[in-house]
Amino acid sequence: MFQTADKTERIIKEVIGLFFVIFMVLFAVSSVANAKTARIKDIVDIEGVRENQLVGYGIVVGLNGTGDGLNNSPFTRQSLEAMLERLGVSVRDQNMNTGNVAAVMVTATLPPFTNQGSHIDVNISSLGDASSLQGGTLLVTPLIAADGEVYVVAQGEISISGFSVQGDAATVTQNIPTSGRIASGGIVEREIDFTLEELQQVRLSLRNPDFTTSRRIAQAINGFTSASLAHAENSASVMLKRPANYDGTIVDLITDIEQLPIQPDQPARVVISERSGVIVMGSNVRISNVAIAQGSLTVKVTETPQVSQANPFAEQGQTVIVPRTDISVNSGNDVKLAMLETGVTLQDLVTGLNRLGMQPRDIITILQAIKAAGALQAEIEVM
């Protein structure tokens, strides 16, 4: 009887241990899967839900002698004269020599669904030869969109992040004192006419187009809703339809599906910036069987001319310059050869190139040569 009880207890412990192992394995797999997934809202844009760029031309006043030179900036003079005439002051054909005014370009981004009367930030940039906008105040400036309509009116004191101090023999400048920002300096006067909730279908635009990702989004939405509401149109868009028996609007449907996890997929790509020597390689980059050798021939020529003079008190002689040339040649005797097997991963590639002592610009040339040899299974994009 006691042996049966001990055996039962042992079996229970083994079952509990097995369940614990299974739980840990499932937890580890789930953690790895979650680490590679992203929400739908983070990888797509909703068609029609977009920002709009605004621009305007304005005048900044109140500068401490750091504004535009009116003789060098005719547009500033004309703007100042026109503004004063609208205020009832006539200065036409008068000699103005003020340095407290600057012509500026005002830019802003109008967020989607911004209501009339809301405030947005605006950016200010000098247009003339003003040296600083510190302490300046932007006068009323209408901001227009691509359709020519005024959507925002901006005004306020400018905040800059830099400064410029000048003395008789030195000048100190930090950051850019000729550009600034007015927090909540723009008031929305016109709303963009777009009613999202009345739509029966919307298009989800992928920020990084890919056929696999597009299909996974559609499958995730259909699996969550248990209905065929979404289908992938192409690599860049997924069409989402509102079902007839759905109680909410299309906004409610978007809210329900935008938290769904998706595992994005991208083609293997290597992005290169030759100007800065920056290289970014995706995790799917693979290398076929290839051997790499890197060496260089360096010729260094040093000129150290010497002056030859005649002896003191000599009856004849002249001073001449005698050339002295030192030439050294480095043929790269320490050249190394590295072998990369088929299916080399990104980590193996980077490790191998670093062992060869490659610099970023050398790696750029090597990657382009590997691509030309047909051994790089990735797309190279040069910025």
> What 8-state DSSP symbol labels residue 161?
S
Q: Does a structural domain hold residue 308?
A: no
Kindly indicate the confidence band of residue 346, based on its pLDDT and cuts at 50, 70 and 90.
low
Residue 173 confidence (pLDDT) above 50 = yes
Q: Does a structural domain hold residue 208?
A: yes
Q: Which domain holds residue 212?
A: 195-262
292 plus 344 within the same structural domain: yes
Q: Does a structural domain hold residue 279?
A: yes
Q: Does a structural domain hold residue 36?
A: no
Strands 179-188 and 201-206, bridge-based pairing: unpaired
| Helix 211-225 × helix 250-257 angle, to 10° | 110
pLDDT in tens, 211-249: 999 999 999 999 998 889 999 999 999 999 998 888 888
In this structure, of 29-38, 137-146, 279-288, 368-377, the range with the lowest mean pLDDT score is 29-38
Q: Does a structural domain hold residue 307?
A: no
Q: Does a structural domain hold residue 289?
A: yes
135 plus 206 within the same structural domain: no
Report the percent of the chain where pLDDT is more than 70: 72
pLDDT at 2: 44
Q: Does a structural domain hold residue 64?
A: yes
pLDDT at 29: 40
201 plus 112 within the same structural domain: no
Residue 275 confidence (pLDDT) above 80 = no
Residue at which a domain ends, from 188, 203, 224: 188
Q: Does a structural domain hold residue 4?
A: no
Kindly indicate the confidence band of residue 115, based on its pLDDT and cuts at 50, 70 and 90.
very high
240 plus 201 within the same structural domain: yes
CA–CA separation, 221 vs 226, rounded Å? 8
Residue 286 confidence (pLDDT) above 80 = no
Residue (of 232, 233, 254) closest to 242 by Cα position: 254
Residue 116 confidence (pLDDT) above 90 = yes
pLDDT at 103: 94
229 plus 139 within the same structural domain: no
Q: What is the rounded average pLDDT for all residues in the chain?
A: 79
pLDDT at 11: 61
CA–CA separation, 95 vs 82, rounded Å? 15
